[in-house]
Amino acid sequence: MIGLTLKHLRYFDALARHSHFGRAAEACSISQPALSLQIKDLETMFGAPLLERGPRQIRLTPVGEGFLLKARQILLGVEELYDLARASEGPLTGRLRMGIIPTVAPYFLPAVISALSDRFPELDLELREALTRSLIESLLDGRLDLAVVALPISEPALREFALFEEDFVLVRPLKDEGKPVPSPRMLRTMRLLLLEEGHCFRDQALSFCQFTRSEPRQIMEGSSLSTLVQLVGSGMGLTLIPEMAIGLETPLANVSVARFPPPRPTRTIGMVWRKTNPLSDQLMQIGSIVRTVASGRF
């Protein structure tokens, strides 16, 4: 395919992600007509339609699906060539794209940024906060270099590096301070406030409370731990939060914090990255630095 460039592949990848010319053009920092022209040029070079253009959205044709798979493999390979050159230069420099889940980011990220800035002053850290599923997809596609998530992930293409473990604590209205801590079975009969579907912390909390799929649940949902804690302070119910969130979320809320007796609910926080990433040794160094930060905080 004479004339095919990486720019064509990147534009097509963006269009596949957004399913919309306007949003894809914005993500690529070009005009919508320019993007449309590039995609039309790509289809002409390829000799087959890659898209179904509908009135409200676009879809990939079967040929387009196959083209996208190969295009992403090529783009990932180019990223890894770039990383291979960086790995040979010594101390980590340049762009590093890191994802982190919302139930960790506000409580741990500032300390991590400070530590990495001190150790790697030439590092340009690009951060993305998102749910685990989105972060893993971005890692596998080469849009992220590493992610901080709850382990295990059990994805064969990814390496896992444990950072620390932390307990979950019970947050309930201040008037309940000093009362016996309810057992997991008792929690199933109470109004439990949990994060929305898609948060791994929600699934971990439900597992601790031993909910079954068919069992009726007195559950209300919130978009953040901060929202859940404020709802508890208003008398709407009770919730579980990770230990790292206590200092930021509870001091100004009308709530009490209680720890569960052993065996306590816990989670393991760790880093994951592609096994094929040429920066693997440097990412191990970053993991060790982040683990040291965690040891002084949790």
**Is there a single domain that holds both residue 56 and residue 202?**
no
pLDDT tens-place string over residues 127-162? 999 999 999 999 988 889 999 999 999 999 999 999
Q: Are residues 182 and 262 in the same domain?
A: yes
Per-residue model confidence as pLDDT tens digits over 169-193:
999 999 999 999 999 888 888 899 9
Same domain, 280 and 145: yes
Q: Tell me, yes or no, whether 73 lies in a domain.
A: yes
* Residue 12: inside a domain: yes
Is residue 95 one of the residues assigned to a domain?
Answer: yes
Whether residue 112 has pLDDT greater than 70: yes
159 lies in some domain:
no
Q: Are residues 220 and 78 in the same domain?
A: no
Q: Are residues 127 and 146 in the same domain?
A: yes
The radius of gyration of the chain's CA atoms, rounded to the nearest angstrom, is 23
> Looking at residues 95-105, what average pLDDT do you find?
94
> Does 194 map to a domain?
yes
The CB-based long-range contact list for 204-211 (8 Å cut-off, 24+ gap) reads 204/150, 204/168, 204/265, 204/267, 205/168, 205/240, 205/265, 208/168, 208/184, 208/240, 208/265, 209/184, 210/184, 210/185
Query: How many domains is the chain built from?
Result: 3
In which domain, by residue range, is 227 found? 165-266
The residue ranking higher by pLDDT, 105 or 88, is 105
What six digits make up the tokens of 278?
């040429």
Q: What is the pLDDT at residue 260? A: 95
Q: 172 in a domain, yes or no?
A: yes
Verify that 110 and 188 share a domain, yes or no. Answer: no
Confidence class of residue 91 from pLDDT cuts 50, 70 and 90?
A: low
Q: Are residues 169 and 262 in the same domain?
A: yes
pLDDT value at residue 216: 47
pLDDT band at residue 87 under the 50/70/90 scheme: low
Q: Are residues 262 and 170 in the same domain?
A: yes
CATH of the domain at 220: 3.40.190.10
| Whole-prediction pTM | 0.77
Question: At residue 282, what is the residue type?
Answer: Q
- Residue 88 pLDDT greater than 70, yes or no: no
Is the pLDDT assigned to residue 228 strictly greater than 70? yes
In this prediction, residue 217 has a pLDDT band, given cuts at 50, 70 and 90, of low
